[in-house]
């Protein structure tokens, strides 16, 4: 497929053989022969053995690439690692519709993470809290002495906040250390700083410091993505109305919001995993943020604008890094960052939020029109075909027949496979 200009918009990408898809990505992202080898090679055992304990081997996931994304007027191919069918296709379709009105626009706050120190057994919590604030400069300097590299990059501990919480154990002080972690996810950096502050906090408060660890509710490290979804492309006014009706349930009901947000995380986690980031941290932050008002609700909002188009927005914490953790160790994570063409954590955060919005739009669009199963069925049918024992070309043939017959079921697949084999 010759590329005349650098664009992520491709039609029929899914129909190409894997080699041709790799060719396209190679041209788009200026990959080298060495990079190309990484597509086929797995994580080497020595690296895996350094990453976790008791290693036996590695565990593979399919790695795909979502096409059509235009974010802040820049084209992106988005690597996604996931075991779930339809996720990559849905993101690509949503990105195609969003493109009509200019794609995704994003903004994000500074990469500020929060470290918590829990101070117990303090006699007078109010004057102890004041005392902590009076020692702010000294505390920040001590925190920054733990990570000269981070400070050299313009990051480091920037602020201290003190909260007094009532608990079954009585009043306790919770100190928040606010750290600019630049291009790191920041957990290790923040935890190290918190541990260093504990002894001096015990002196200042005459209390005992128990917990000293990062909070995954990274609500000072937020990212927002918006997109306008074209009315005509969506099929008209009545579809947008149906879409908004579907969305409304997620905004008021935690039972629906949980599934709605799970759909968002289908896209987000896939990029987070592909780029070697911590998906549990992102999940924890997202869901805690969704419940910040006391009612667990949707991470996205939608409304109709004056032209009758659909406007979607997502806002959530995004503690991602392009340095540190697995992001630096896993060769495929490096390759995926190269495919994305990103070099800062902030840009990665903005791309990830856009994918979350795209994924959510695609799911609600399907739910409001044909239903979710239609899109899922053709890939699901392939899985069922394999489970029924189909091999090679049989898989495609059997899957197509299952979808055509509207019976994507294992028992039926086995019967049909026997018939196909008898015929040929």
Residues that bind ligand NAD (CB under 6 A): 147, 149-150, 153, 155, 181-189, 191, 214, 216, 278, 281, 321, 323-326
Round to whole Å and give the CA distance between 115 and 350.
23
Beta strands in 34-124 (DSSP E): 63-71, 74-81, 104-108, 112-120
Q: DSSP letter string over 394-410?
A: HHHHHHHHHHHHT---H
**67 neighbors 10 (Cβ within 8 angstroms):** yes
Q: For residue 159, what are its two tokens?
A: 């602020």
Annotated catalytic residue 74: no
Residues sharing a CB contact under 8 Å with residue 212, sequence separation 6 or more, in sequence order: 115, 116, 117, 118, 191, 194, 195, 197, 198
Instruction: Return the number of the residue (155 or 207) whose C-beta is nearest ligand NAD.
Output: 155
Instruction: Return the number of the residue (8 or 275) whose C-beta is nearest ligand NAD.
Output: 275
Round to whole Å and give the CA distance between 413 and 424.
16
Round to whole Å and give the CA distance between 367 and 244.
11
Query: Cα–Cα distances in Å, from 423 out to 131, 226, 340, 395, 420?
Result: 85, 53, 47, 15, 5
Annotated catalytic residue 315: no
Round to whole Å and give the CA distance between 101 and 353.
18
Smallest gap from residue 115 Cβ to ligand NAD (A): 10
Instruction: Return the number of the residue (64 or 156) whose C-beta is nearest ligand NAD.
Output: 156
For strands 208-215 and 74-81, give the pairing. Answer: unpaired
**64 neighbors 354 (Cβ within 8 angstroms):** no
Identify the active-site residue in 224, 233, 376, 407.
Answer: 376
Identify the active-site residue in 84, 159, 161, 230.
Answer: 84
Smallest gap from residue 179 Cβ to ligand NAD (A): 9
Annotated catalytic residue 423: no
Identify the active-site residue in 35, 147, 180, 278.
Answer: 278
Instruction: Return the number of the residue (173 or 323) whose C-beta is nearest ligand NAD.
Output: 323
Smallest gap from residue 272 Cβ to ligand NAD (A): 11
Annotated catalytic residue 376: yes
Identify the active-site residue in 20, 37, 123, 262.
Answer: 262
Instruction: Return the number of the residue (91 or 177) whose C-beta is nearest ligand NAD.
Output: 177
Q: Where are the alpha helices (DSSP H) in 153-221?
A: 187-205
Q: Nearest to ligand NAD by Cβ — which residue?
A: 324
Smallest gap from residue 292 Cβ to ligand NAD (A): 18
Smallest gap from residue 107 Cβ to ligand NAD (A): 20
Active-site residues, by number, are: 84, 262, 278, 376
């Amino acid at each position: 497929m010759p590329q005349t200009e650098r664009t992520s918009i491709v039609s029929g990408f899914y129909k190409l053989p894997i080699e041709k898809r790799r060719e396209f990505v190679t041209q788009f992202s200026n990959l080298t022969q060495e990079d190309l080898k990484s597509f086929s090679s797995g994580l080497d055992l020595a690296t895996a053995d350094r990453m976790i304990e008791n290693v036996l081997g590695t565990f593979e996931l399919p790695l795909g690439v979502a096409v059509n994304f235009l974010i802040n007027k820049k084209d992106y191919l988005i690597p996604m690692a996931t075991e779930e069918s339809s996720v990559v296709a849905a993101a690509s379709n949503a990105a195609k519709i969003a493109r009509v009105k200019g794609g995704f626009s994003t903004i994000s706050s500074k990469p500020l993470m929060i470290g918590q120190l829990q101070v117990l057994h303090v006699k007078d919590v109010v004057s102890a809290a004041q005392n902590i604030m009076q020692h702010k400069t000294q505390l920040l300097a001590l925190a920054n002495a733990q990570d000269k590299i981070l400070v050299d990059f313009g990051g480091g501990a920037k602020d201290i906040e003190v909260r007094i919480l009532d608990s079954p154990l009585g009043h306790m002080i919770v100190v928040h250390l606010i750290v600019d972690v630049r291009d790191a996810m920041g957990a290790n950096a923040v935890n190290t700083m918190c541990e260093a502050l504990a002894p001096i906090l015990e002196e200042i408060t005459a209390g005992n410091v128990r917990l000293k660890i990062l909070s995954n509710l990274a609500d000072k490290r937020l990212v927002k993505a918006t997109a306008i979804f074209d009315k005509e492309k969506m099929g008209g006014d009545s579809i947008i109305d149906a879409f908004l009706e579907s969305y409304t349930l997620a905004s008021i009901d935690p039972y629906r919001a949980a599934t709605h947000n799970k759909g968002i995380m289908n896209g987000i986690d896939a990029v987070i995993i592909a780029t070697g980031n911590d998906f549990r941290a992102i999940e924890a932050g997202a869901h805690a943020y969704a419940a910040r008002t006391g009612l667990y609700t949707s991470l996205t909002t939608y409304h109709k604008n004056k032209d009758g188009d659909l406007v979607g927005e997502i806002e959530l914490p995004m503690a991602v890094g392009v340095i540190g953790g697995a992001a630096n160790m896993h060769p495929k994570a490096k390759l995926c960052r190269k495919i994305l063409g990103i070099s800062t954590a902030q840009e990665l955060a903005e791309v990830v939020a856009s994918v979350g919005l795209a994924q959510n739009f695609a799911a609600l669009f399907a739910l409001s029109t044909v239903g979710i199963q239609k899109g899922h069925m053709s890939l699901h049918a392939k899985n069922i075909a394999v489970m029924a024992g189909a091999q090679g070309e049989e898989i495609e043939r059997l899957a197509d027949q299952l979808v055509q017959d509207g019976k994507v079921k294992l028992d039926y697949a086995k019967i049909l496979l026997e018939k196909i084999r008898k015929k040929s």
